[in-house]
Amino acid sequence: MKTHLLPEQGRFYKANMHCHSTCSDGKWTVERLKEEYMKRGYSVVAFSDHDRCISHNELSGADFLALTAYEADVSDWAVKDSRFRRCYHFNCFAKSPEADGREVTPVPEYRDMAAVNDFVARLNEAGFLVCYNHPNWSQQTLDDYGGLKGLFGCEVYNHSAMLDGIDADQEQPYDALLRRGNRLFCLAADDNHDHFPPEHPLNDSFGGFIMIKAPALSYGAIMTALERGEFYASMGPEIYSLYVEDMRLHVECSGVRSIHMTTAGRRAAVARAETGKTLTSAAFEIDPTDGYVRLQLTDREGLRANTNACFVDTLPQR
């Protein structure tokens, strides 16, 4: 029996889940953001301006969906030099589009992990999915994020951080959270502020996205797909199908150089293309003791796609 990790039915919708506009510190209006993203094949943008929950439902239509969101900042204000000030940035995605003007949840003190987790729990109770953003940009280590609970997701790629010259690869924090018993998904996002025009090499739009598989481009269908993890994260490579059959993980994709499988332990696997060729599919054995399995696909330009962790105890055993 096949277990589809991306639904067999429905279609993919390209989404930027971290976006700043002139409502906070971005340079483009929400109207221009919609125009620029739609030009490049996006159907969904989460407008996540800082500390303000604003709905932009007027932008939504048959071919575009504006998700209501905001980015919450829990900073260590005791550190005066902002270059070394650690912070938690959480994107809060409203499950309902009718969250406009909702009072944002008061933030806790930075150094109190129990209070930070209570903050996340209160956001969940208020109807938000909470994503942990750019831990490397935030100057955080395992001591800071290792105890986080209640998260919907974690960014594994942040395009703006990469263009700031900061390591934007967040896969290690994602695995650390998974290995500590959390069940959460992974996202790639722009975190765009658009201080440069679209054609400029330092423009921070259009670099990290997720592909959501859903039956329709409606707020309810997209949020349901997000809650179920029916999406993958990418900087470029495409994933067409992802399923488990007889404890083998199968993927079909655009041409890539390599496909790596990561698990909760040291057991791993990799498929690599011969010189001058590419892979468009692979299959990996799943061991019942793997805990979870996830894939990283890398193309010839070094651009990556990541699947969400699949937990082995949710799969039918042989």
The reply to whether CATH 2.60.40 applies to domain 237-318 is yes
Record the tokens describing residue 304, joined without a space: 């990556």
The answer to whether residues 122 and 105 touch, using CB atoms and an 8 Å cutoff, is yes
pLDDT in tens, the chain (318 residues): 899 999 999 999 999 999 999 999 999 999 999 999 999 999 999 999 999 899 999 999 999 999 999 999 999 999 999 999 999 999 999 999 987 666 678 889 998 999 999 999 999 999 999 999 999 999 999 999 999 999 999 999 999 999 999 977 889 999 999 999 999 999 999 999 999 999 999 999 999 999 999 999 999 999 999 999 999 999 999 999 999 999 999 999 999 999 999 999 999 999 999 999 999 999 999 999 999 999 999 999 999 999 999 999 999 876
CATH topology of domain 6-235: TIM Barrel (3.20.20)
C-alpha dist (Å) from residue 123 to 73, 152, 181, 308: 13, 11, 20, 22
C-alpha dist (Å) from residue 89 to 32, 76, 159, 262: 25, 11, 15, 26
Domain ranges of the chain: 6-235, 237-318
- Let me know if the fold of 6-235 is the same as that of 237-318: no
pLDDT at 108: 92
pLDDT at 105: 81
